[in-house]
């Protein structure tokens, strides 16, 4: 099965993706991680995108669409992908469907982690002490949340129409969220 995990910054997408990866034997495809690798390795693309990422805006659809193609086309990952942080725009969502279709795959479930801006601010500040992400400070977190609010609605509507969207309360504790997600995935697996 292929899963999309969706939600604002600080919703716990990365944490829950890692849980799903280990419990259900999937592979995590985090566009944020791929982009940060480009920046850390000072590649041409990395230099091009670092200021965009650090300002809390989205990089272009074209860039992320190209990045995920390698992953989707790789047989090792076939029907075993959890998309973390992708798609973020309607155009990316449509591109993902086309791409998966081309490789004879589809998305089975979209998990939306819902959290308030207050919680996002708190979590980003906590994360700032543990990881050193240049885009993790309160100001940029607010900007990233606003960017999410602007671009997420059409994506969610798109997935609502295909009946694969499940909303999870991201305000709960990590273990509770994992348990809820587990139940949702088990239910879908029963249908496949
Ligand atoms: P994340 O680690 O998912 O929070 O992503 C960090 C940053 O990378 C975002 O704030 C965006 O600037 C960029 N980014 C990650 N994924 C995408 C995407 N699917 N589309 C556009 N920009 C992205």
Q: Which residues line ligand 1 (CB under 6 A)?
A: 9, 31-32, 35, 52-53, 56-59, 64, 85-86, 88, 92, 135, 144
pLDDT digits (tens, 9 = 90+) for 108-162: 999 999 999 999 888 888 877 777 777 777 888 889 999 999 999 999 999 999 9
pLDDT digits (tens, 9 = 90+) for 24-70: 999 999 999 999 999 999 999 999 999 999 999 999 999 999 999 99
| Of 30, 53, 95, 134, best ligand 1 pocket probe by most atoms within 8 Å of the beta carbon | 53
Say if residues 106 and 100 touch (Cβ distance below 8 Å).
yes
Model pTM score: 0.94
């Amino acid at each position: 099965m292929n899963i999309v995990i969706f939600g604002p910054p600080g919703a716990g997408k990365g944490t829950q993706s890692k849980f799903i990866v280990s419990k259900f034997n999937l592979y995590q495809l985090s566009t944020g991680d791929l982009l940060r690798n480009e920046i850390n390795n000072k590649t041409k693309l990395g230099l091009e995108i670092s200021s965009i990422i650090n300002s809390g805006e989205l990089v272009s659809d074209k860039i992320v669409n190209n990045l995920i193609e390698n992953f989707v086309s790789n047989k090792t990952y076939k029907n075993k992908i959890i998309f973390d942080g992708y798609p973020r725009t309607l155009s990316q969502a449509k591109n993902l469907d086309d791409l998966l279709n081309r490789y004879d795959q589809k998305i089975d479930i979209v998990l939306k982690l819902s959290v308030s801006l207050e919680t996002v601010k708190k979590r980003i500040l906590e994360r700032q002490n543990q990881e050193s992400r240049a885009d993790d400070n309160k100001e940029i977190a607010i900007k990233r949340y606003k960017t999410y609010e602007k671009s997420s609605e059409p994506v969610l509507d798109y997935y609502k129409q295909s009946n694969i969207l499940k909303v999870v309360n991201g305000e709960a504790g990590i273990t509770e969220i994992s348990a809820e997600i587990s139940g949702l995935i088990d239910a879908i697996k029963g249908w496949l």
